[in-house]
Homo-oligomer: A and B are copies of this chain.
Amino acid sequence: MSKSSISNSVIRRLPRYYRFLGELENNGYVRISSRELSEKMGLTASQIRQDFNCFGEFGQQGYGYNVSDLRIEIGKILGLDKQTPMILLGAGNLGKAIAAHIDFRNKGFDLIGAFDVNEGIIGKEIGDLKVRGIDELSTFCAENKPVAAILCVPMGAAEKLANTLIECGVKAFWNFTHYDLKVTHKGVAVENVHLGDSLTTLSYCLNNLNNSEK
C-alpha cells in the first residue's frame, strides 16, 4: 500500500504506538503480541494488526512483534530519523512554554530560532535561543533555511506571517492559531493545535456523560 493512501486515523495512531513501544523497550520488553499490546493500549488486536499492515510486514505469526525493530520502523515512517530545522513565531506565554516543554530532537525537529514583535520579549532567552525581532526573519531564513514553523501569534497576524514564511521556504506549520492554513494554503504540511476547541470538546463530553447518566 502506498503511503499516500494511509488513512488519517492510522497516521494519528502512529505517534502513540511509537511512544508506547519506547516505554515497553525501557521496561525491558523484547517482543510483544498484538493481543498484549492491544490490552495495554485499549485498542483491539485486529486494529493493531491492520494498522501495522499498512506499512509492511512487521509481525511474525506466533512470535509477535520485536519491540525495538518495530519502534525503529515506525520512527522512520514518522520521519524521526531526521531533524528538520524549525522556528518559533510568537514567544509569549504559550510559545515560550511550548519551546521549554517539548523535546524537539526526539520528534524530528530542531528548534533553531524564535521571533516576536514585542520589544519587551525580544532579546530574552528561551532555552539556548535569544528571541529575535520579526524584522530579522527574512535574513535569518535565507541564512539558516528553516523548513518548519510554530505559529503562536494572534489570529490577526497569522495570515501575513504564513505567506512570508512560505515565501521563505517553510513547508510545515505547527499551528496554534485559529487561522485556517489548511484551507488557504495547499501543498504545505499543517498540524493544528486548537486548545480552545479541545476544551470545548471536553465540555461536550462532560455534558454528554451527564446526559447519559440521567
Interface residues of A (CB under 8 A from B): 3-4, 11-12, 14-16, 18-19, 40-42, 77-80, 82, 84, 93-94, 96-98, 100-104, 106-109, 147-148, 171-174, 178, 180, 182-183, 187-191, 193-209, 211-212
Contact = CB atoms under 8 A, between A and B. Distances in A.
Contacts of A84: 203, 206
B196 A193 contact: no
Nearest to A197: B15
The dominant DSSP class at the A interface is helix
Contacts of A208: 3-4, 189
A107 B206 contact: no
A18 B83 CA distance: 37
A199 to B, nearest CB: 4
6 contacts: A14-B201, A15-B197, A78-B207, A97-B97, A107-B203, A172-B206
Given A148-B206, A190-B205, A191-B199, A19 B178 contact: yes
Contacts of A199: 102, 104, 107-109, 174, 191
Nearest to A193: B198
Contacts of A188: 209
A204 B102 contact: no
Given A3-B208, A189-B206, A189-B209, A196 B42 contact: no
Contacts of A207: 77-79, 82, 108
